């Protein structure tokens, strides 16, 4: 059914700002109604936005005054209805826990029993040793999370996911500590949330070479078809080491030390040693800035062209963790040239900034001030975009790229950072709008998280989901991409489709509808930040 009224399909915390977007050519009145049809609020959507990204005119209404817990919907004067939503203090808990359970369901190298995984149960996969590309040796590298819709495992994106999940734990421990995976039993003192993150850390430790450097990825030479993971039987290959993988690993391990030390001192020591060795190896590596696939390998490249931001993050994180002068000087030298920012696997500078600003060790006040100024400048630009967009997203018309929903979530994190620095609530409100966009207040009228909301993505590009014919719940779709980079998108979307509507809910549309662990981790960090 064609929609004209758009809200967050999950809902709102009582104290949140609450906006409705109504697709219309003129101002329109609306009612907020309880699920039984009784009206509780009459409003008027009269703030007009000429939405070029969506190719439409939008009118925005405010119903923030509705704070009473309950289930609601919005009826516009043209008799269009929104999806239903709830208002309550734990409105988002189910989405958060489904989003975290996704990581368990992405586990590689172990049995997933049906009592825990349901139809996505599978036998241990990818347990054989991997050939080391360009060498005669082999290496045992079982474990970790399958990266995305395919079954590859990649150090850089994995380290990013680890960092974002640790930030989620730090910012909303009470929510994270309530996480458990149905059908599994946690007998450890370590919270289940941290236990799941450790599963990825343990795999990355296996990817560290004796000299400290990290192999870039563990994959087959090409992608398999839509089969369950244990059916991918081609030979595993370790791609060559890279600076980006090594720097990301060093940073993630150093960050993880403070989370695991209270529970397992020996493991914290292991992480410390691994981080220091990786950093030392990174400093000796003069490889081209980005990784490139060897000729025989066609799996995900993650070919970051510039390794400087990884060095930046690693130096800051190791300085925060260990306090060595070497790490401080390395970071400050890089920061004096440029303040790096970004929460993606390509641009990771913001992790370094957060580490430097939050360390207990001495810092250069001039560099600290420069970092804060750069962060606020970026947030102010994002805030301007949010206020000019019909759906409150911080994406410009040209930013509906592959994985645009990651950009949405990460923009929310930048806005949250500005709130944390200033206490100005317009930043926090704008950060929350990025979550509302992902959960239904968007031009497609879809919740981009599978199994969450009344009208959610149903056919993600994800092999277990495609094989079983049902979307695994809790996965964030990549979102609209005006590149139209796959045959499904080209076959369905007409030339000139508005960028914000370039999404195809089809399994074959990998450029608009794939999932990844680091899109999910960004979603969870955003949720833990704004809730």
DSSP β-ladder status, 70-76 and 85-87:
antiparallel
Average pLDDT over residues 487-509: 97
Rounded to whole angstroms, how far apart are CA atoms 482 and 122? 35
On the 0-12 / 13-18 / 19+ scale of CB atoms within 10 A, 65 is exposed
**Predicted confidence band of residue 78 (pLDDT cuts 50, 70, 90):** confident
CATH number, position 320: 1.50.10.10
Over 90: is that where the pLDDT of 414 sits?
yes
**SS3 (DSSP) at 219:** strand
CA–CA dist 20, 385 (Å, integer): 17
Find the mean pLDDT for residues 312-338. 98
| Cβ–Cβ < 8 Å for 529, 522 | no
Parent domain of 253: 152-219+241-361
Summarize pLDDT for 365-389 with one digit per residue, the tens: 999 999 999 999 999 999 999 999 9
Q: Does residue 355 form part of some domain?
A: yes
Q: Write down the residue that tokens 């049902």 correspond to.
A: 470
Confidence band, pLDDT 50/70/90 cuts, at residue 346: very high
DSSP 461: B
* DSSP β-ladder status, 130-132 and 85-87: unpaired
CA distances from 103 to 140, 145, 507 (A): 21, 7, 20
Nearest in space to 524 (alpha carbons), one of 154, 160, 117: 160
* pLDDT at 439 > cutoff 80: yes
Instruction: List pLDDT tens digits, range 145-170.
Output: 999 999 999 999 999 999 999 999 99
Write down the mean pLDDT value for the chain: 97
Residue 412 near residue 434, CB atoms below 8 Å: yes
pTM of the model: 0.98
Q: What digits encode the pLDDT tens for the residues 241-285?
A: 999 999 999 999 999 999 999 999 999 999 999 999 999 999 999
Catalytic residue at 505?
Answer: yes
In tens, the pLDDT along 22-38 reads 999 999 999 999 999 99
Residue 289 has pLDDT above 70, yes or no: no
Query: pLDDT band for position 286 (50/70/90)?
Result: confident
pLDDT of residue 2: 73
**Cα separation, 270 vs 250, whole angstroms:** 12
**Is 405 within 8 Å of 505 (Cβ atoms)?**
no
Which contacts qualify for 260-267: CB closer than 8 Å, 24 or more apart? 260/190, 260/194, 260/198, 263/188, 263/189, 263/190, 263/194, 264/190, 267/198
Q: How confident is the model at residue 288 (pLDDT cuts 50, 70, 90)?
A: low
Write down the pLDDT at residue 287: 66
Asked whether residue 339 is domain-assigned, the answer is yes
Largest pairwise CA distance in the chain: 72
**In a domain? residue 198:** yes
Tell me what pLDDT residue 373 has: 98
Q: Which of 8, 31, 196, 505 is catalytic?
A: 505
- Quick check: is 77 in a domain? no
Integer Cα distance of 267 and 234 in angstroms: 33
- The whole-number pLDDT of residue 113 equals 97
| Residues 149, 511 contacting (CB under 8 angstroms) | no
Of the residues 461, 462, 482, 486, only one is catalytic, namely: 461
Q: Which positions ≥6 away from 307 have C-beta within 8 Å?
A: 242, 243, 244, 247, 287, 289, 290
Residue-wise pLDDT tens digits, 458-494 = 999 999 999 999 999 999 999 999 999 999 999 999 9
User: How far, in Å, CA of 236 to CA of 337, rounded?
Assistant: 40
The pLDDT confidence band at residue 134, using thresholds 50, 70 and 90, is very high
> At 76, is the secondary structure helix, strand, or coil?
strand
Highest-confidence segment of 118-122, 188-192, 304-308: 118-122
Would you call 150 a catalytic residue per the annotation?
yes
Asked whether residue 257 is domain-assigned, the answer is yes
Handedness of CA 243, 248, 249, 254 (dihedral sign): positive
Using a pLDDT cut of 90, give the percent of the chain over it.
Answer: 96
| 35 occurs within a structural domain | no
Is residue 235 very low, low, confident or very high in pLDDT (cuts 50, 70, 90)?
A: very high
Helix (H) or strand (E) holding 86: strand 85-87
Question: Is 518 domain-assigned?
Answer: no
Does 347 score more than 70 pLDDT?
yes
- pLDDT given at position 1: 52
**Cβ–Cβ under 8 Å, residues 151 and 126:** yes
Whether 263 is covered by a domain: the verdict is yes
Catalytic, out of 150, 196, 389, 482? 150
Q: How many domains does the chain have?
A: 1
Tokens of 45: 């959507």
DSSP assignment letter at 31 = E
Nearest to 30 by CA among 79, 64, 65: 79
Q: Look up 461 and say whether it is catalytic.
A: yes
| Run of H or E residues at 56 | strand 56-62
């Amino acid at each position: 059914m064609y929609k004209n009224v758009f809200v967050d399909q999950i809902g709102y915390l009582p104290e949140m700002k609450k906006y409705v977007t109504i697709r219309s050519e003129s101002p329109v009145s609306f009612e907020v109604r309880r699920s039984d049809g009784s009206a509780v609020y009459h409003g008027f959507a009269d703030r007009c936005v000429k939405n070029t990204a969506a190719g439409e005119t939008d009118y925005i209404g405010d119903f923030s005054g509705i704070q009473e817990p309950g289930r609601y919907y919005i009826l516009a004067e043209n008799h269009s209805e929104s999806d239903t939503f709830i208002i309550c203090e734990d409105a988002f808990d189910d989405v958060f826990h489904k989003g975290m359970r996704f990581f368990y369901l992405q586990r590689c190298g172990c049995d997933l029993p049906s009592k825990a995984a349901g139809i996505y149960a599978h036998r241990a996969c990818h347990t054989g040793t991997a050939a080391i590309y360009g060498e005669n040796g082999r290496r045992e590298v079982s474990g970790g999370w399958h990266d995305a819709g395919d079954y590859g495992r990649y150090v850089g994106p994995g380290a990013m996911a680890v960092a974002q999940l640790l930030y989620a734990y730090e910012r909303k421990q009470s929510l994270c500590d309530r996480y458990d995976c149905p059908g599994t039993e946690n007998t450890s003192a370590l919270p289940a949330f941290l236990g799941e993150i450790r599963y990825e850390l343990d795999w990355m430790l296996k990817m560290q070479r004796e000299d400290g450097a990290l192999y870039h990825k563990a994959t087959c030479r090409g992608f398999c078809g839509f089969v369950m993971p244990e059916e991918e039987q081609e030979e595993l290959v370790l791609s060559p080491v890279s600076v980006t993988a090594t720097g990301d690993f060093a940073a993630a391990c150093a960050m993880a030390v403070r989370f695991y030390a209270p529970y397992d001192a020996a493991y914290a020591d292991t992480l410390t040693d691994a981080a220091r060795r990786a950093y030392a190896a990174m400093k000796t590596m003069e490889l081209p800035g980005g990784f490139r696939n060897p000729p025989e390998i066609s799996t995900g490249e993650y070919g970051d062209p510039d390794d400087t931001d990884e060095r930046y993050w690693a130096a800051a994180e190791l300085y925060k963790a260990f306090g060595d002068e070497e790490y401080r000087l390395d970071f400050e030298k890089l920061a004096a040239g440029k303040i790096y920012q970004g929460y993606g696997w390509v641009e990771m500078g913001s992790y370094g900034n957060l580490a430097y600003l939050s360390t207990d060790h001495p810092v250069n006040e001039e560099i600290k001030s420069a970092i804060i100024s750069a962060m606020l400048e970026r947030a102010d630009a994002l805030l301007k975009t949010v206020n000019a967009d019909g759906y409150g997203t911080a994406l410009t018309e040209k930013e509906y790229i592959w994985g645009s929903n990651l950009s949405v979530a990460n923009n929310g994190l930048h806005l949250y950072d500005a709130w944390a620095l200033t206490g100005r609530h317009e930043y926090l409100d704008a950060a929350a709008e990025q979550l509302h966009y992902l959960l239904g207040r968007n031009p497609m009228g879809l919740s981009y998280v599978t199994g969450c909301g009344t009208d959610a993505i149903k056919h993600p590009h994800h092999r277990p989901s495609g094989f079983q014919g049902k979307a695994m719940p809790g996965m964030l779709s990549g979102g609209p991409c005006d590149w139209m980079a796959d045959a499904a998108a080209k076959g369905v979307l007409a030339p000139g489709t508005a960028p914000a509507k370039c999404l195809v809910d089809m399994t074959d549309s990998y450029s608009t509808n794939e999932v990844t662990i680091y899109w999910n981790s960004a979603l969870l960090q955003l949720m833990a930040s704004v809730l």
